[in-house]
Structure 1
């Protein structure tokens, strides 16, 4: 029998709550490592397929696209486990391998039923990373997160049913928008991928998770959705503009946001936009660019979330208005955070440069000038809010007097692994290019590309400096920014309360007069039955005999007719 790496992780998570201390740490580190070995010993092809009610199920299919995403998920799982070693919370440590297994299993799924099972497992398991914070805000955020995940699952299930009814079968390959089922599946993916308007759950819930939970959440759900898009919807032209919108609009929210973990949540949507646009362009460069950038994003975005998690752990806050000067107390965390910032900003010799350039090249080869310019603007914007704002306001700006200990050793090791991966991809991008699903003759380090990127970064940094020196840059203030979540957090509850109050008023104005009239009619009809009514008084015997005779005669007459 062929072992499924996802099943290995799920079964391996069962004894985690029963282990203690170093035994539990060693076991948790062994799980993703063993799954990685299993993944890379599997030959390409379908393994262990079987039929159910005439439908072909292929729970384990290995090809280049599945392998690169599954590898990224297992790397993220290992780094997350290292980052969580100082936890004493058995719930979080048990959830991590199960949640990782859902993403790995989905990447290796060969049919839509298996995909749906892991799609739902990802949503149901990950919510515990939010609830594990054990606050009222976390509980409410977890409920909203769960609603989004369940809605996505229902759309996915409905789409699969319609897709199969159209005669397409259960194979998880290209889906497209040729039938209503494909549209429902795309909407389901759009929720987890944070399409515009459908995105609000992400920045609403991720910052409410635990220190470790936010790091783990950043690695799996959205990248799982990117994989489904890359497998099922490559070359779907509508995705290009969806991706452009995703890359651009979060910039404005991130600039004015005070919570630095929420800034990173907006930054995540920005980076997902590049991947979605690349998938919409399609072709070898488009799909390769999306896969490569997803791999790199798992590392550098995880690194940034880990650094802010360490800051939150030591200072008790992740708000820019309450931070600053931490380079004195947490210099190692600061250096690692800067590496993550350089990677997401696509500095040469860092991972973002090697992966984002593939996407820009794919767009350029399609001669999509407007799209290319908008993505270039988004690249400058991410340098502003993630490359500069995060390390500047956390570690350098307006010293708030925090004198705290450096991050725990295991957290620094996890951040070091992510930083090393980001630098390795940037310095030797062919290490990642060799894992991509399509062969390509591409080099990121050409003179025009390096010069253009350095010019972009220099101009963006100059703009930030000018805005800061002139006081035009939005200050870090405790505030609440209104986003699409206002619809379900404020507007819908208010509309519900208004509707209930209106219904109550209508009921009072209409039903009460009718009730009074009904009472009068009932009183009039029941008057003969009362003690003094004509039916309630004693009748003489001769009258009773007369009534009996009349009733008998009436009965006989009716029977004769």
Structure 2
């Protein structure tokens, strides 16, 4: 392959193809571009030399590195490119130039940011992900989607502004914008960058943009959005903040709180959005446990593996519910049920996604999540506090089975019969779901053939795992996970039989965004109302005071004012002479 191609950042290729796709009116040509481009990009990535700056440029004394591949960002970039291919196939039934183009540009920006070799390049593509992704929400064409997209854009731009602010501090104090420019949260700028990453990762109290925007986006848009933004933030934390203890507890809390919201939520796409918070929490916690290059790198490998498989099975779940929404016009659990009769393949693929996210043995989630759980358990031997973290992750693992492994397939395809009889999903949707389901199974299987099964994924991880040092398919791992899953299934069945499981009914679930969307807005309206009553009177008083002050100034300083009168001018002349004489006398006496 020519050198100029192997040196080309594959993300740039996606961005250029996306921009071109927006202007191509011939549907078949445009869709061929959206499919061929990710395939070419994967080939480019596979042939790129690692650990080398392939594209560099010096601007205003700043050394920019646009393309650097190493063992950490390779697995994230590969997952992003696979997701881009699946998304393109899933969207073939649509004819939307803007959506096709922005989907490629969004994926390309995420890939370009992942392979950035300096902080400024990271910032540039960090912002492009925000700008390009907002169009995927707007393509829903509803009033709710419009307002959600504006809130989403505001939050994402805030993340970018904070990132740029932190980068400015790093540049000022270190004179460098390299990826190794800071190593401590105590360093100026590092905390600001930490918060910028936390917004995009949807940390607790910063997470509501996700549940607000993803469920309101288009059918295809939600699938695309689920793959890139939060996982780009996970990569950023793995790159810059591995081993930071703060991330352990932040991640553990992230795994817990979405469970309660997801169980009572009626909108199944919002359930998946909360589930996304839960899964990212596992990755963040693992990054906090892991220390790059020191001791056992099991936790960081767990974060990378979890991000890879999560991109696939989360896309599969969003695809299946998107297909239901496309055929029935709703994703509300209270309005669905019995669809396995008319959408059997979609139901099967949804179940596979549910088994994967629930970490059933022989599915992709199991071989990824077991890395994190084993790493946290190993830390518990030396740090008793880690036992609490391990128990929190264990609870969250059972919770994700309840809301994603059971609730979504049950209420969408089984449960009470809604009476809806619709067509099966379009072939292209089934093809994309089938490819994702195949990956969920193939990656999770034991290595019956060397290099295949879970060993293929383990071979891509940032730090080598010796087969003798770690094996996911041990009796202890399998029994622990199966006991947890069986108890979770039993609890669901028991609660349903006793009619104690939260009923699926229309309504709005209040989250922490209530504080600024209701209380904050109410305070603004109160201030506006009060000002409308006292404002005119206050303005009249201020006008009279200003007018009086002006008149006094005119009376004093104008040509006809007090200071221009002859007698006063003569008096001032006399006093000036007296003061000048005193100054001269003092100067003479002190000389």
Question: Normalising by structure 1, what TM-score?
Answer: 0.91
Partner of 2:17: 12
Partner of 1:482: 510
Q: Structure 1 residue 518: deviation in Å?
A: 9.8
Partner of 2:495: 467
Partners in 2 of 1:62 and 1:513 — Cα distance?
67
Q: Are residue 402 (structure 1) and residue 420 (structure 2) matched?
A: yes
Q: Are residue 195 (structure 1) and residue 203 (structure 2) matched?
A: yes
Partners in 2 of 1:418 and 1:552 — Cα distance?
93
Q: Structure 1 residue 500: deviation in Å?
A: 2.2
Could you tell which deviates more after superposition, 201-210 or 47-56?
47-56
Task: Give the direction of change, closer, same or farther, for the CA distance of 1:509–1:61 in structure 2 (3 Å limit).
Answer: same
Q: Are residue 83 (structure 1) and residue 90 (structure 2) matched?
A: yes
Structure 1 gap segments, 5+ residues each: 524-550
Query: 1:434-449 alignment to 2 at 5 Å?
Result: 434-441=459-466, 442-449=470-477
Partner of 1:430: 455
Q: Are residue 495 (structure 1) and residue 517 (structure 2) matched?
A: no
Q: Structure 1 residue 210: deviation in Å?
A: 0.1
Partner of 1:372: 390
* Contact 1:307 1:333 (8 Å CA) reproduced: yes
Partner of 1:339: 352
* Contact 1:204 1:485 (8 Å CA) reproduced: no
Partners in 2 of 1:171 and 1:507 — Cα distance?
53
Partners in 2 of 1:380 and 1:522 — Cα distance?
74
- 3-state SS, counterpart of residue 402 of structure 1: coil
* Contact 1:176 1:232 (8 Å CA) reproduced: no
Could you list the per-position Cα deviations for residues 110-160 of structure 1 after superposition, in whole angstroms to 9, with x for gaps in the alignment? 100000011000000000000011111110010010011010010000011
- 3-state SS, counterpart of residue 180 of structure 1: coil
Could you tell which deviates more after superposition, 359-368 or 191-200?
359-368
Q: Structure 1 residue 364: deviation in Å?
A: 1.0
- 3-state SS, counterpart of residue 58 of structure 1: strand
Partners in 1 of 2:477 and 2:432 — Cα distance?
31
Q: Are residue 384 (structure 1) and residue 409 (structure 2) matched?
A: no
- Cα root mean square deviation, aligned: 2.3
Partner of 2:29: 23
Q: Are residue 219 (structure 1) and residue 219 (structure 2) matched?
A: no
Partners in 1 of 2:175 and 2:519 — Cα distance?
40
Partners in 1 of 2:550 and 2:192 — Cα distance?
56
Partners in 1 of 2:288 and 2:414 — Cα distance?
40
Partner of 1:325: 338
Partners in 2 of 1:115 and 1:519 — Cα distance?
55
Question: Normalising by structure 2, what TM-score?
Answer: 0.87
Q: Structure 1 residue 507: deviation in Å?
A: 3.7
Q: Are residue 420 (structure 1) and residue 428 (structure 2) matched?
A: no
Q: Structure 1 residue 553: deviation in Å?
A: 9.6
Partner of 1:34: 40
- 3-state SS, counterpart of residue 171 of structure 2: helix
Q: Are residue 311 (structure 1) and residue 324 (structure 2) matched?
A: yes
Task: Give the direction of change, closer, same or farther, for the CA distance of 1:337–1:559 in structure 2 (3 Å limit).
Answer: closer
Could you list the per-position Cα deviations for residues 140-192 of structure 1 after superposition, in whole angstroms to 9, with x for gaps in the alignment? 01001001101001000001111121216211236441323111111111111
Could you list the per-position Cα deviations for residues 40-60 of structure 1 after superposition, in whole angstroms to 9, with x for gaps in the alignment? 111012212232222221111
Task: Give the direction of change, closer, same or farther, for the CA distance of 1:43–1:467 in structure 2 (3 Å limit).
Answer: same
Partner of 1:300: 313
Partners in 2 of 1:183 and 1:268 — Cα distance?
25
Partners in 1 of 2:274 and 2:439 — Cα distance?
23
Q: Structure 1 residue 406: deviation in Å?
A: 0.1
- 3-state SS, counterpart of residue 267 of structure 1: helix
Could you tell which deviates more after superposition, 423-432 or 379-388?
423-432
Partners in 2 of 1:380 and 1:134 — Cα distance?
37
- 3-state SS, counterpart of residue 48 of structure 1: strand
Could you list the per-position Cα deviations for residues 404-450 of structure 1 after superposition, in whole angstroms to 9, with x for gaps in the alignment? 00000000000011101110111011110000110123211000110
* Contact 2:19 2:102 (8 Å CA) reproduced: no
* Contact 2:168 2:189 (8 Å CA) reproduced: yes
Partner of 1:118: 125
Partner of 1:539: none
Partner of 2:268: 260
Partners in 2 of 1:522 and 1:339 — Cα distance?
79
Could you tell which deviates more after superposition, 172-181 or 365-374?
172-181
Task: Give the direction of change, closer, same or farther, for the CA distance of 1:451–1:164 in structure 2 (3 Å limit).
Answer: same
Could you list the per-position Cα deviations for residues 351-396 of structure 1 after superposition, in whole angstroms to 9, with x for gaps in the alignment? 0000000010111111111100000000000000000000000000
Structure 2 gap segments, 5+ residues each: 292-296, 381-385, 446-452, 552-563, 575-591
1:361 corresponds, among 359, 374, 380, to: 374
Q: Are residue 164 (structure 1) and residue 171 (structure 2) matched?
A: yes
Q: Structure 1 residue 560: deviation in Å?
A: 10
Partner of 2:113: 106
What is the number of residues matched between the two proteins? 534
Task: Give the direction of change, closer, same or farther, for the CA distance of 1:49–1:465 in structure 2 (3 Å limit).
Answer: same
